[in-house]
Amino acid sequence: MNLLKAHHGFRSHVTFLDKVVWRAGVQISYLAVLSTQLSLFSLSVLLYTAILQERIGWVGLWMVGVVALTPLEGVCTMYSNILRDHVNKKFDVQSKVEMGVFIVRLIANVLGVGGVFKFYRSLQSGHSYLPSDQISL
């Protein structure tokens, strides 16, 4: 009888540790999502500066960064949803909203990369959008 009680206590202890580990995984995945979003924000500031100064190298860096970080954000978002759903034992509304927002942002990123790529090509071909220094009288 005591063996069964001890075994039951061990089982509940393992279940408790299992939940703690899963919840820590959820928090780590949230941290990864937040880190990718902050990196994308800093890349957007870099793009804004690159457009104002017409620095073609920075525009190329932005394109590489966005193409690398957007899928990483998607994987981290999906992973956090899977972990949270495993802990909660159900697929909640928050998961659906997060994935919906990510899909909208993904479409906006694809359109943004297309527009920036056109700008990048026009800079490569020699067009300048900066005002000229010549004054005509």
Digit-by-digit pLDDT tens for the chain (137 residues) are 444 444 555 455 557 666 777 778 888 888 998 999 999 999 999 999 999 888 989 999 999 999 999 999 889 888 888 888 777 777 778 888 888 998 998 899 899 999 999 999 998 898 887 777 666 66
Its pTM stands at 0.72
DSSP state of 132: P
